[in-house]
Amino acid sequence: MFKSLILDWSGTLVDDSGPTLTATNAVLTNYGKQPMTWEKFRASFRLPYSEWYDEHVPGISLVELEEHFRNSFDANENLVTPLHGTSEFLEWCNENGIRLFVLTSMNSEIFSEQLRKFGFQRHFEDIYSGVLDKRKVIAELIHDKGLVKEETAYVGDMLHDIETAHFGGVTSVAVLSGYDQLEKLETGDPTFIVSSIRSLHAMLRKGRIILPDLADDWITIRRLAVDCFIGVPDEERALRQTLHLTVEIRPDMKFSRLEDQVENTVDYDAVAKRIEGLAGERPRKLIETLSVEVAEMVLEEFAAAEVVVEVEKRILPRTDCVLVKTRRSRLRQ
């Protein structure tokens, strides 16, 4: 059972397809572009929507575009309705202690009006609206709210939502009730695909979803020997020593999505060489310092979502080694 759910809004919990298409066409025609059918719009639309506008209405500020969109959307807002089963799903989650959050690209004012209209405010612990690129927010949300990644899912109807879940290191649940079609959603390799929020509700209620092991794809560099100057006493630090480092890396991208291309994964040879260089850059007193520096370097310079660094030092008598361990996860993407 999931203990936390981060939910998209449009196409996941509510149906706003009619007003959205009408408002989008109003924007297009205002700038001399041809209006779109729902099929054409659905096939081309993507998030962040600023990129979609750049492609179809280039050179116009997003503020100006959103003003035209808002005016037309407001005139058709009564056509927005909760998707079938949304209210029952939210009630059930609250009754079963599942923490709920919204992460949506929707304009904050439009979203707030819909939230009040449908009476859904009480169901959500917190709201993140008006987020153009959700990938830049989800990791911070997870960290700030103290969510356990292995017990959390992001639920959405677009490829960008699946990518957001991957960036956050949580389970991805794609629903077919919104904007992106099955073929497009499948390219993101979601953990689960369901027809609607009602279907997800039924699966959770009946215990048909087994939480996956989200940390099953790791790259490990085991006991890499590095030479460095380290030690608390000056006389010890003046002598070159050999330490052994084990570095476990959880890549941003699952192995199943690598398409057998080395540029899609973490180059462990480059990581090893970078660790050797970092260790030899300057003297240090503590192996703890080196452990933290290596972990932060891997997250900053390589496509890693999480890293665990162990540093071994032979120093105490009658022991194999002293070992320190550092674990770091990326908080921002």
Average pLDDT, the chain: 90
Task: Give the contacts of 49 (CB within 8 A, at least 6 positions apart).
Answer: 105, 132
Identify the band that residue 79 occupies on the pLDDT scale cut at 50, 70 and 90. Answer: confident
Burial 99-134 (b: 16+ CB within 10 A, else e): bbbbbbbbeeebbeebbeebebeebbeebbbebebb
**Residue 212: predicted pLDDT:** 53
pLDDT digit string, tens, across residues 203-241: 898 876 655 554 468 999 999 999 999 999 998 999 999
Question: How many Å apart are CA 195 and CA 188, to the nearest integer?
Answer: 16
Q: Name 327's bridge partners.
A: 308
Is the CB of residue 17 less than 8 Å from the CB of residue 11?
Answer: yes
Identify the band that residue 43 occupies on the pLDDT scale cut at 50, 70 and 90. Answer: confident
Identify the band that residue 258 occupies on the pLDDT scale cut at 50, 70 and 90. Answer: confident
- Rounded to a whole number of angstroms, the CA Rg of the chain reads 24
CATH of 4-15+80-205, one of 3.40.50.300, 3.40.50.1000, 3.40.710.10, 3.40.50.150: 3.40.50.1000
Owner of token pair 């990326």:
330
pLDDT digit string, tens, across residues 191-203: 899 999 999 999 8
The region of weakest confidence among 32-36, 250-254, 266-270, 321-325 is 250-254
**Residue 209: predicted pLDDT:** 65
- The CATH fold assigned to 219-329 is GTP Cyclohydrolase I, domain 2 (3.30.1130)
Q: What is the average pLDDT across 124-152? A: 94
Question: How many Å apart are CA 303 and CA 94, to the nearest integer?
Answer: 36
How would you class 34 by CB atoms within 10 Å of its CB: exposed for 0-12, middle for 13-18, buried for 19 or more?
Answer: exposed
Main-chain dihedrals φ then ψ at residue 72, nearest 5 degrees: -75, -40
**Residue 72: predicted pLDDT:** 86
**Residue 328: predicted pLDDT:** 86
**Residue 332: predicted pLDDT:** 33
